[in-house]
Structure 1
Amino acid sequence: MDNLEKQLICPICLEMFTKPVVILPCQHNLCRKCANDVFQVGLCYNILFIWLLVIGGRFRCPTCRHEVVLDRHGVYGLQRNLLVENIIDMFKQESSSTKPEQVTKEETPMCEVHQEEKINIYCVTHGVPTCSMCKVFGAHKDCEVAPISSIYQTKKTELSDGIAMMVGTNDRMQGIISQLEDACRVIEENSCRQKTQLCEKFDHLYTMLEDKKREMCQKVTAEQEEKVNYIRGLTRKYGDHLEESCKVVETGIQTMEEQEMAVFLQATKPLLLKIAEASSIAHLEKVERGYENMDHFSVDFKRERQALRSIDFIQGKKEKKKSSNYPIITSFLLLVPCSSPCILFTSL
């Protein structure tokens, strides 16, 4: 029975589930009233616990931290766990038949000065609870006092309002965080898009440079082929003339060996004419000085180099893009009640 009772304890109020019992999507159970208190930030049993449970208006299971998305009906839209309710009824019937009713008394704290006196009044002047003897004879005899019950309700209301205000602040802060995260995502997307466009433009520039380099190299190659073909043509002409000259020399050597004077003289006249013709190279073209020079194809990229170094983004669109990428997050002022200082949250 003790183990069963532990399974029927609500994680919010730490008491046995009270009807109706709602079942969360994660299959854990809560009292409907406790679930509503957590979601609406009503009467809280534990300030820190409720603050952790309600973040940005989201309702999380106190057992497993699973986020519960509620519709417009709120916690009343959650299904009731009839099985748990029936088990609770059976447990209560079994407990009432086996155990006598135990009367629990709330322990009232005692005064530290007057140890036999209960703390039953509240010193408004010093802001502390005290006893009647302290008001009559003690340190608070000249202070303004009030019933502790009325101060209890006032402070509890102030604390509840403060918690609700902090929950609202958390909700707004969560909204700002979401906006900042969206801004980071938009910045990353815009950066990727701009990088892609930038790379495309540089690739286009590279293509233009490659085309221009190919075009200029073709001009140099065309003149090279023209000059080389001309030189090779002259080489063939000079080669042909040299071959004819060698034949004339060979004929002259053979004529020199002729012993018969008449025959020698007959062969000498035409041979001398051929020698004169072979010795003359005036009819052959000559290559002009500096013909092989290709320096007129020199280039100077000084201006282009300066232009490339000056490549940068267009400054006129900088401010426009910055304003479009960053969401505008307005500042808001949070006024905490009960004479607490004002807290100003300002976005960057």
Structure 2
Amino acid sequence: MASRSFFPEQDIICPVCMDIFTDPVLLKCSHSFCKACLHKCWEENKAGECPICRAKTTEDPTCNRVLKNLCETFLKNRTKKLASASESLCSLHGERLKLFCLNDEEPICLICQTSEKHENHKLRPVKEAVSKYKEELETVLRPLQDKLQAFTKEKQKSDREAEIIKSEAEYIVILIREQFEILHQFLRDDEAARIAALREEEEEKSQRMKERGEKMTKEISSLTEAIRALEQEMRADDISFLQNYKATKRRYVKS
């Protein structure tokens, strides 16, 4: 691996726990330890001393970031290598899987070939079996791809039709709103015209009633004055009443 090409594994081993560094810290004397290992040493022995050279330090150890990154890279690569190796090795014999059993349809190693389980079974080299089965699956894959393509085209067509339906519906909604707005405007105009005509008729009738009221007020005033004058004449003494009777009769009694 690249990480192991640039530094030996012993350079990333903690001198206390003899394992890969975990949270490595750096002392002033340039020695590095796992953070937990250093604190454990300081709890058991004199704190502030390097467990290797016994150099004293009064400063807190700092994180060795470069060493930490190297350890993380090494562990990651080792995990990948182990996973890859375990996948290509026989779980029973630890040998490389070089053959494929056609009867059991599983990869096996050369030792498995001689076992009772695979006795008289048809075997093929792994590469040959891979080539054969890939060809078989290719015949299955093509119809699936064609089917997928057909469904994709059908869906695209359906999506386009849905967009057209949506656009047509939105256009019709706009037309309906425009038509109803025209109708509403017509009704508003008709309402305004009817109200205006009603107000005009009301004003004319009110004016006639006002004139009629004024005329009746004058009549009442005139009649009141006539009654008052006539009553006054009737309260006069007999001679005066008789002397004025002719004129009073002519004034108030219509022939």
TM-score of the two chains, using structure 1 as the length reference: 0.37
Structure with the bigger percentage of helix = 2
- Computing the radius of gyration over CA atoms, which structure comes out larger, 1 or 2? 2
Give the alignment's TM-score, normalised by structure 2: 0.48
